[in-house]
Amino acid sequence: MTTIEPRIVSAGTSEGAQELQPRSIVGHKELMRESGAVLRMSEADAAALADIASDPDEDQTMIINMGPQHPSTHGVLRLMLELQGETVLRCKPIIGYLHTGMEKTGESLTFMQGGTNVTRMDYLSPLNNELVFSMATEKLLGIDGDIPERAVWMRMLLSELNRMSSHLLFMATNGMDLGAVSMMLYGWREREQVLRFFQKVTGLRMNHNFIRPGGLAADLPAGWRDDVLHLLEEIPPRLEEYEVLMTGQPIWRERLQGVGVITQDEAVALAATGPILRSTGIAWDLRKDMPYLRYDDVEFDVVVGVHGDAYDRYAIRLQEIRESMHIVRQILDRMPAGNYRIQNKKVTPPPRGRIDESMEALIHHFKIFTEGFKVPEGEVYVAIESPRGEIGCYIASDGSSTPYRMHVRAPSFVNVQCLPHMMRGGLVADAVAVISSIDPVLGEVDR
């Protein structure tokens, strides 16, 4: 099998066919599709909007670049907007500026090492990436039923705290994008506290590789309970401050209400999940509808909006921080004692201490960490609720110790495709509000 060597290309920055073509070149049918006729408006409305004088020299519209290096595109998302004055007529997201070939790298890393690769996809909630990868591997191994109780509850605790830190960063960047620059300071002040707890538990502020197939890398440190309690007392009054600073302000409401509206059938047709789907009124939360871990034993509300606009998405995320804290409080009361990792010899390396004593433990440790454990042949798709929506992990394994195909269904990749439909007819300033309300993370969009 002759392998094709990649030829590194560094041509100019224009992406040719991927770009938004000017009105004069684009055919009528394509123009109708891009103007959202397929989903939103009746043919007549779209036709009315679409057939502005399209002779090339009398060009009324202007195509501008909200390009990869832009303060408010949350990373390297490039949007080509066609403007008529201040009104956005067409928009095309161009992605791939952070494509890291993670799925190709995933095929050469063993299941034990896979967590380090997956955790760098959605770098705002790394623990949820590791969780979905680990659950998929455990399902393939057939050990997803007998993960120790403490490991399951610890995973829930870390996943919910990660949801809080991700939504707190959304509060910070959403405020800054819309001009409330001081929101960046407050949002980060709270997020730092959650990151300090993560650093104490996992040793790192981000990219922890702490949730591994078979359980967790280590047990909770001593004194973790009062750290979490300190968090739970400290953050609620701060959220009241956010309410005063943002929710109560007429300017904030005027900037967000009625902006980036998406209807129910449009959200389902575009497979938007998470706060975007819930903002249209469909109460779909994987933690409630297809529960995993112990979410059916914990009591919390599904937060729903009814207008499907940017304001609803902001309010949903703010309320979800409170729901997560409510869940964390219940987890605190029910955290069982016991093992933090499955005692199945095949998956778990021996404890560090035993390696010095016994030869088999040393060989066992060496084999697991160099070769990795074999996973039976088969394919599985597991999906959990990340702060941005449904993150799914599809693994096809061929019986060896490295996944044959590891594909992660990234919620932001699909949510970014809703941008053109939300931005149609809005102002350029609203475009910033819409991008920020989708809260895309380009690491998982481009994988």
Q: Of 2, 237, 244, 359, which one interacts with other proteins (CB under 8 A)?
A: 2
Phi and psi for 393 in degrees, rounded to 5?
-125, 120
What's the DSSP call for residue 394? E
Residues in Cβ contact with 315 at an 8 Å cutoff, skipping those fewer than 6 apart: 247, 305
CB atoms within 10 A of CB 282: 17
- The reply on whether position 446 binds other proteins by CB under 8 A is yes
Task: Tell me how far, at minimum, the Cβ of 150 lies from other proteins, in Å.
Answer: 22
User: Taking contact as CB under 8 A, which single stretch among the options 153-161, 219-227, 344-352, 426-434 is the one that binds other proteins?
Assistant: 426-434
Q: With CB under 8 A, what is the number of residues at the site for other proteins?
A: 153
C-alpha 246/C-alpha 315 separation (Å) is 10
Q: Of 152, 282, 332, 355, which one interacts with other proteins (CB under 8 A)?
A: 282
Q: Of 241, 289, 296, 297, which one interacts with other proteins (CB under 8 A)?
A: 289
Phi and psi for 63 in degrees, rounded to 5?
-100, 120
Site string for other proteins, 136-155 (x = CB under 8 A): ---x--x--x----------
Chain-centroid distance, C-alpha 378 = 26
C-alpha 198/C-alpha 193 separation (Å) is 9
| Strand 389-397 relative to strand 405-409, pairing | antiparallel
- H/E element holding 433? helix 428-438
Q: Of 31, 76, 118, 147, which one interacts with other proteins (CB under 8 A)?
A: 76
- The reply on whether position 238 binds other proteins by CB under 8 A is no
- H/E element holding 443? helix 442-446
Contact (CB, 8 A) for 175 and 342: no
- Nearer Cβ to other proteins, position 335 or 385? 385
Task: Tell me how far, at minimum, the Cβ of 158 lies from other proteins, in Å.
Answer: 18
User: Taking contact as CB under 8 A, which single stretch among the options 148-156, 225-233, 262-270, 345-353 is the one that binds other proteins?
Assistant: 262-270
User: Taking contact as CB under 8 A, which single stretch among the options 27-35, 148-156, 334-342, 350-358 is the one that binds other proteins?
Assistant: 27-35
- Nearer Cβ to other proteins, position 159 or 437? 437
Site string for other proteins, 342-381 (x = CB under 8 A): ----------------------------xx-----xxxxx
